[in-house]
Amino acid sequence: MVIDPGHNPGNFRHSTDINQLVDIGTNRKECDTTGTETEDGYTEAAFTRDVSQRLRTLLEKEGAKVVLTHEEGERAFGPCIDERARIGNTAKADAVISVHADGSAEGHRGFHVILPGKVTSGGADTTAIVGPSRQLGEHVVAAFARATGSGRANYLGSGTGLDVRTDLGGLNLSTVPKVFVECGNMQDSQDAALLANGDWRQKAALGIAEGLRAFLAP
Q: How many residues does the chain have?
A: 218
User: pLDDT band for position 162 (50/70/90)?
Assistant: very high
Structural domains of the chain sorted by starting position, each given as residue range(s) with its CATH number in brackets: 2-216 (3.40.630.40)
Average pLDDT of the chain?
A: 97
User: Three-state SS across 119-172?
Assistant: CEECCEECCCCHHHHHHHHHHHHHHHHHHHCCCECCCCHHHCCEEEECCCHHHH
User: pLDDT band for position 94 (50/70/90)?
Assistant: very high
> Other CB atoms closer than 10 Å to residue 215's CB: what's the count?
20
Edge-to-edge strands, sheet with 67-68: 67-68, 2-5, 96-102, 178-185, 112-116, 162-165
Q: Give the pLDDT score at 54.
A: 98
Residue 158 to residue 21: CA distance in whole angstroms: 32
Q: Give the pLDDT score at 160.
A: 98
Does residue 96 have a pLDDT over 90? yes
User: pLDDT band for position 73 (50/70/90)?
Assistant: confident
Sign of torsion over alpha carbons 71, 76, 81, 82:
negative
Residue 102 to residue 204: CA distance in whole angstroms: 14
User: pLDDT band for position 218 (50/70/90)?
Assistant: confident
Span 192-214, average pLDDT: 98
pLDDT tens track for 127-138? 999 999 999 999
Does residue 170 have a pLDDT over 90? yes
Span 185-190, average pLDDT: 98
pLDDT tens track for 1-23? 999 999 999 999 999 999 999 99
Q: Is the Cβ–Cβ distance between 109 and 188 less than 8 Å?
A: yes
Span 191-218, average pLDDT: 97
pLDDT tens track for 41-72? 999 999 999 999 999 999 999 999 999 999 98
Please tell me what DSSP assigns to residue 12.
G
Q: Give the pLDDT score at 41.
A: 97
